[in-house]
Structure 1
């Protein structure tokens, strides 16, 4: 059964965003020819996320910043339709930015120019600049949801409908791309029950150019990827093979890695998208992209051609605040989530996927809550890979989550560990001993406090489990009779995860380990 529009349970960062939900319904006869071509881009949405978190600051360093930012910044048609006239985008507070939610869209504009572009995969990002964290939620393209003015269809139909009927829905003068993004935003608001404050979209070729300008990406591929039917520009197919292990991707290869659909599932592709996104953020920092003046002109030209957003980035005060947040954001503070069968019950009818409304709301509650706090009564655990085995931390995280542990996103340890070690960062004796008993570890492999050789803990972590070279294969296999406790009410759910889903939410063999 399709999810009905859930009641609002969150306040918007801007009153006007909440008010637009009360505007009069419009009767619009909307139709569109849905193209069936496979192979539309999806990961390109990740590039705009990396842009917003790490690269926006480049514009304040250039003499032509104002012109470029005015070109990239896009009016929000939802505000125009609400007021009946052109409305100015409301600025974010210039200091101590309030939390906000932005919808990231990857748009394939390389197809037939007479047809509407498509955006097959969507990423919703909730950002808390004050607490220095962000959460990402991927929505599968085949999800059946209610599209305003249209009815229940796959969510990837919203963009072309809004694109082709932009003026019919939002008023005269609305640009097609702006209409497409606005209708997707309204659709996501209805589906998730949260306000979408801003939108951002980037096109296919823009993603490739951005990666190349950054000098490529280094990604640890956990398992080989083989796609015998990767789509080509002329609507044909070719063989794509990417081996496991550390790989250096240029823009084209990074796009192919995240775009491939025939190698695994659409849910596997979602985790690859977020892996590339995190790699972009890490690359921007490691290469000091934001501080290299020689790269600024190319970056600016690429972004001007490829990116549009309703964020008020033409206001330099806002830009400085976002830049400060980008520089201070640690990749460990980016919570990765996705709607997938591991954490949300679903009803599949052909290629249509109907998600359970209650499970979706539970997932959204975690996304909006942020990292678990010290006083929420939940002990959070992060697994770090100290054995050098690709995907190991993600597999152990999944097993512990199935045992009812509250798990955070796994990561690599900064060095190799011969012995598996539990590190207690908060002095929780009962929790660390319980974890040791679950894994069969002796007291000698428990540390009551970290030492100088241990990895620093991210915000909200109570225990760190560093999986060493002595790991037991049983730690990577979910027990058939693993307990499934009753879920607590949504308001009490910690973002770190619960007994029914672990935050990585990744299919087997596709973990966010780096």
Structure 2
């Protein structure tokens, strides 16, 4: 619904909702409109029809998603006030292709901002599904769906090879947890047509192009009021060897030159050995580091940010032989196109007061009613976000979460004064796919918590016990501050030791 300048080929530019570019002008109009808005080159345009969306999700065995609240409408059709049928219960669950499509398309009782957030949530969940549940036996079926229902166009009008598609699938499969960054445009105003200041769009573009990989750690330090104790080795003291891992002539020398311009201390393979990796099969750039040397891991993460699509790994014996003693070895893959990213945009948030209030009574009674149906102790938050109340549509739900139906789970659903929904999930199933995507763990107030970030925003915080896990899940828009999320998690207590 963002109002932008539409660039249709052969037409005078005009202003309308951004999705008009595709409905009226097709692929070329979409690309030109987004290029004009962002100033960025467009590498690929991917289109998928509804049937393809459903089939792709189903071929992967469904997708695990956290549904923030009860969604229900049985009045579909073309009548006044009618909108798409949907019937979803709240809580973390596996959705079929049809259910997932209903969820990501919904926007009737909230806004386009919430729909965009659901779509971004789907992208993260889809990536997690590939990384945790994909098997090679599903590959032929997935390729068939992509061939029939997904169109991928490359910049300049070239066709995208199946090999390229598979490589990006492999990238999603191997990408470590916490390496997906999603950007949103802030300050949007309006109802049907959304507008915002140009500065907000420019800021979102900068964050997209130059993501702050250290934002979660910095945000945690701010929320807890602690100082980060990380040894940071400056580029001048960071020795780097660059190797060609893609087979493209000049890739290693180009990357070496660019890193040298950023003040890195360049080192070359010993004894005049060519600067080639053991193979040319590197699709993504990899920054290898010497784990025995203090600060090497952090230096590798900083260097990785310069390459965009890259990952860090400890030195292997084969790579170490070519390192010539360097702290880092960069093996450039096919995703390196002769450029380094600019310095990341600092997204460290300001410290805020936890906006919480003591309000446990209404949840306590519901949880005591549910306790006999689960085989682990339920916890109640003694503090909740100060404007929140339990949802009137579905305040609590207990159900089987895991595929085999052996583990029960309970979901509390809260609604804020701003019409956002957040929740608390409790389950004895410790293999939920989302739990594998934590950024890091911290000990807070004597308890160990796993923290899950969306950029600088804390989206989920999880406490683990021997019998269960307890999740505090932020709203779709991450409207609860980091400090508020942590305060709620710290206030969780077993219902057996809490009095009204």
Q: Per the shorter chain, which TM-score range? A: 0.3 to 0.5
TM-score (norm 2): 0.43
Which of structures 1 and 2 has the bigger CA Rg?
2
TM-score (norm 1): 0.42
Larger strand proportion of the pair = 2
